């Protein structure tokens, strides 16, 4: 494809605002791309290389301004280019505003009006430019880019400049390209989507769609050494997770940096960051871990955590230092040791596991890491108390909290869906008055196990004894029950503390005079008809007895309302 045709079509796409028409225009572009299809698919997204490749042009904006200035003529400096950029706001517009005459004069002399530049030539030039390394490489890059601009007419220059700086800005997102590939080669969108997930290579997917159709796309597999986009998490709550799923899979949330390990005992090891950058050289510990402990071809998803001399986790910033270090790794390694923890298995010995359930993938992971070293443990439970316990252990061990995952969910690369949730940290705690309780069952029949919590209504402290005589709970409104976060030992203490204040009993239910104040954590305050306050705490947890707070000074319903409003 001639590059001026690409530029013309890109201009039409840029001018169009209706999404469906944009998809049609991109479809037309891909259909017309013939041999240049893989390049055109990348260029239209402002990419020169496939997303999984670590190669970059590594050319900063200043070098691009320099090349533009040189192509624009002897009277133009890089500063002039920057000034125009400040004026026009966008590098493509700046490049198109100059007359890069040089070579075009020669072209016209040879009988052609056009620059004759093809998409393939632009790709080759940029590919060569990316390979320049070492001393003088930046000059070599500017020279080559200058040569390229010199052959461009204004519209071509507009898009070369944007591609070089990865700022295509023609309104073509990944979804548009996916739909256009499906449209241009008459294959199902789902097959294109899946093929993109496993390969991260739009160019290759487009070619397979064109040449081999749906069957070819469906046959595409993960490859060891080629990174996959990481599945991402949203913020969530325990209460929400247990409402949405029968059970939740719970894991510690490690405070480190995401890593994807690609290991083949016969083929070598690569480590990629969350952005699919190759970080193998920066993390020799991960390579050593794989060499020592993994004896089959795998792709594992996990986190590297910085550890101090005692093996305790270090803050995440320390790990980032290691990521940034490409050189002198040995020295930094002395400062910050890292160790990997893996929580997912995407591929094992020839089998792609993206479509397997989380629990199955975790079973595979457990088999791969059969001595348990570097394995993130997973608990599947519907018990909020159990989840609170996992969270307490995680925090106690110096980690960040917990992740809640849907046990049946597949691995969705690049998605921030609802199947993985990081538990939101607790909001401000509340000091609430215990106004009731329930006896436990079985072994705990002689212990109070569930505690009814109330907030003070504003008048409670002033209303005086008259009101309280009429009803022991006047001036208090209920808003939840807490049974989570209490150890057996604490249950005994709480029973001793509350028994003297028991007013009456009805089966398991106990009425308690306002005397004891609990500090409780919770995930959210909801409006709810269940309790007399009109509010309910979600996932309330016992934190402590507030010996130092009188019921009359406990938190008021007004504060509860304010906190609820702020959420």
Residue ranges that bind ligand AMP, judged by CB under 6 A: 230, 232-233, 251-254, 258, 303, 343, 376, 403, 422
Q: Are 338 and 285 in contact (CB under 8 A)?
A: yes
* Beta carbon of residue 61, minimum distance to ligand AMP (angstroms, whole number): 29
* Beta carbon of residue 249, minimum distance to ligand AMP (angstroms, whole number): 10
Please give the backbone phi and psi of residue 512, each rounded to the nearest 5 degrees, phi first. Answer: -125, 135
* Beta carbon of residue 121, minimum distance to ligand AMP (angstroms, whole number): 40
* Beta carbon of residue 476, minimum distance to ligand AMP (angstroms, whole number): 38
Active-site residue, selected from the candidate residues 141, 253, 405, 481: 253
Q: Are 263 and 272 in contact (CB under 8 A)?
A: no
Task: State which residue, 85 or 232, has the beta carbon closest to ligand AMP.
Answer: 232
Strand 232-236 and strand 416-423: pairing?
A: parallel
- 195/197 Cα distance (integer angstroms): 5
Task: State which residue, 240 or 436, has the beta carbon closest to ligand AMP.
Answer: 240
Question: SS3 helix, strand, coil % of the chain, rounded to 5?
Answer: 45, 20, 35
Going by C-beta distance under 8 Å and a sequence separation of 6 or more, which residues neighbour residue 43?
A: 6, 119, 122, 123, 159, 163, 168
- 441/220 Cα distance (integer angstroms): 56
- 432/546 Cα distance (integer angstroms): 9
- 5/44 Cα distance (integer angstroms): 12
- 48/205 Cα distance (integer angstroms): 15
Task: State which residue, 252 or 518, has the beta carbon closest to ligand AMP.
Answer: 252
- 253 assigned to active site: yes
Question: In this structure, which long-range contacts are made by residues 438-446, counting pairs with CB atoms below 8 Å and at least 24 apart in sequence?
Answer: 438/481, 438/508, 438/509, 438/510, 439/508, 439/510, 440/491, 441/508, 444/491, 446/495
* Beta carbon of residue 316, minimum distance to ligand AMP (angstroms, whole number): 9
- 177/209 Cα distance (integer angstroms): 13
- 341/353 Cα distance (integer angstroms): 19
Task: State which residue, 146 or 342, has the beta carbon closest to ligand AMP.
Answer: 342
Strands (E) located in 182-256: 232-236, 248-253
Please give the backbone phi and psi of residue 523, each rounded to the nearest 5 degrees, phi first. Answer: -90, -35
* Beta carbon of residue 421, minimum distance to ligand AMP (angstroms, whole number): 10
- 29/44 Cα distance (integer angstroms): 9
Task: State which residue, 341 or 483, has the beta carbon closest to ligand AMP.
Answer: 341
- Which of these, 430, 497, 424, lies nearest to 238 by C-alpha position? 424
In the chain, count of helices (H) and strands (E)? 22, 19
Task: State which residue, 16 or 278, has the beta carbon closest to ligand AMP.
Answer: 278
Task: State which residue, 340 or 480, has the beta carbon closest to ligand AMP.
Answer: 340
- 497/507 Cα distance (integer angstroms): 20
The helix (run of H) or strand (run of E) holding residue 12 is helix 3-15
Task: State which residue, 252 or 522, has the beta carbon closest to ligand AMP.
Answer: 252
* Beta carbon of residue 341, minimum distance to ligand AMP (angstroms, whole number): 7
Opening angle at CA 546, ends 541 and 550, nearest 5:
125
Distance of CA 526 to the CA centre of its chain: 28
* Beta carbon of residue 321, minimum distance to ligand AMP (angstroms, whole number): 17
Opening angle at CA 269, ends 265 and 274, nearest 5:
140
Task: State which residue, 47 or 422, has the beta carbon closest to ligand AMP.
Answer: 422
* Beta carbon of residue 235, minimum distance to ligand AMP (angstroms, whole number): 8
Active site residues: 253
């Amino acid at each position: 494809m001639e590059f001026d045709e690409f530029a013309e079509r890109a201009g039409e796409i840029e001018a169009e605002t209706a999404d469906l028409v944009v998809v049609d225009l991109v479809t037309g572009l891909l259909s017309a791309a013939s041999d240049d299809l893989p390049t055109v698919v990348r260029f239209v997204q402002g990419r020169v290389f496939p997303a999984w490749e670590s190669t970059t042009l590594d050319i900063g904006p200043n070098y691009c301004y320099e090349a533009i200035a040189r192509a624009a003529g002897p009277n133009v400096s890089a500063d002039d280019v920057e000034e125009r950029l400040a004026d026009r706001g966008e590098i493509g517009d700046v490049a198109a505003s100059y007359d890069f005459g040089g070579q075009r004069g020669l072209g016209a002399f040879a009988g052609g009006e056009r620059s004759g530049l093809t998409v393939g030539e632009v790709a080759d030039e940029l590919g060569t430019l990316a390979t320049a390394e070492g001393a003088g490489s930046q000059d070599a890059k500017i020279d080559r880019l200058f040569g390229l601009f010199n052959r461009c007419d204004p519209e071509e220059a507009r898009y070369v400049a944007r591609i070089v700086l990865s700022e295509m800005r023609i309104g073509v997102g990944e979804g548009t390209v996916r739909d256009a590939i499906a449209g241009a080669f008459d294959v199902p969108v789902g097959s294109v989507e899946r093929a993109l997930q496993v390969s991260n290579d739009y160019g290759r997917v487009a070619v397979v769609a064109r040449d081999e159709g749906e069957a070819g796309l469906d046959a595409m597999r993960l490859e060891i050494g080629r990174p996959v986009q990481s599945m991402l998490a949203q913020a969530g709550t325990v209460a929400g997770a247990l409402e949405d799923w029968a059970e939740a899979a719970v894991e510690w949330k490690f405070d480190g940096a995401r890593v994807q390990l690609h290991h083949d005992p016969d083929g070598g090891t690569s480590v990629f960051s969350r952005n699919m950058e190759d970080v193998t050289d920066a993390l020799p510990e991960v390579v050593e871990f794989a060499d020592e402990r993994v004896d089959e071809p795998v792709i594992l998803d996990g986190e590297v955590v910085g550890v101090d001399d005692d093996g305790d986790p270090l803050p995440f910033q320390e790990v980032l230092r290691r990521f940034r270090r490409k050189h002198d790794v040995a020295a930094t390694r002395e400062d910050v040791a890292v160790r990997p923890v893996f929580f997912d298995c995407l591929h094992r010995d020839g089998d792609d596991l993206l479509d397997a359930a989380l629990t199955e993938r975790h079973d595979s992971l457990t088999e791969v890491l059969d001595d348990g070293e570097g394995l993130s443990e997973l608990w599947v439970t519907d018990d909020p108390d159990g989840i609170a316990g996992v969270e307490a252990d995680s925090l106690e061990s110096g980690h960040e909290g917990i992740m809640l995952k849907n046990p049946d969910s597949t691995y969705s690369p690049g998605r921030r869906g609802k199947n993985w949730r990081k538990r939101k940290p607790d909001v401000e705690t509340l000091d609430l008055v215990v106004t009731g309780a329930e006896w436990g069952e079985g072994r705990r029949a002689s212990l109070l196990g569930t505690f009814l919590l109330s907030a003070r209504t504003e008048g409670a402290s002033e209303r005086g004894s008259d009101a309280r005589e009429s009803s022991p709970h006047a001036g208090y409104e209920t808003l939840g029950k807490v049974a989570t976060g209490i150890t057996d030992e604490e249950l005994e203490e709480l029973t001793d503390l509350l028994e003297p204040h028991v007013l009456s009993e009805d089966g398991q239910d106990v009425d308690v005079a306002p005397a004891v104040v609990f500090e409780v954590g919770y995930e959210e305050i909801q409006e709810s008809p269940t309790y007399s306050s009109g509010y309910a705490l979600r996932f309330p947890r016992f934190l402590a007895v507030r010996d130092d707070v009188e019921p009359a000074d406990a938190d008021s319903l007004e504060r509860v309302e304010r906190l609820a409003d702020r959420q």
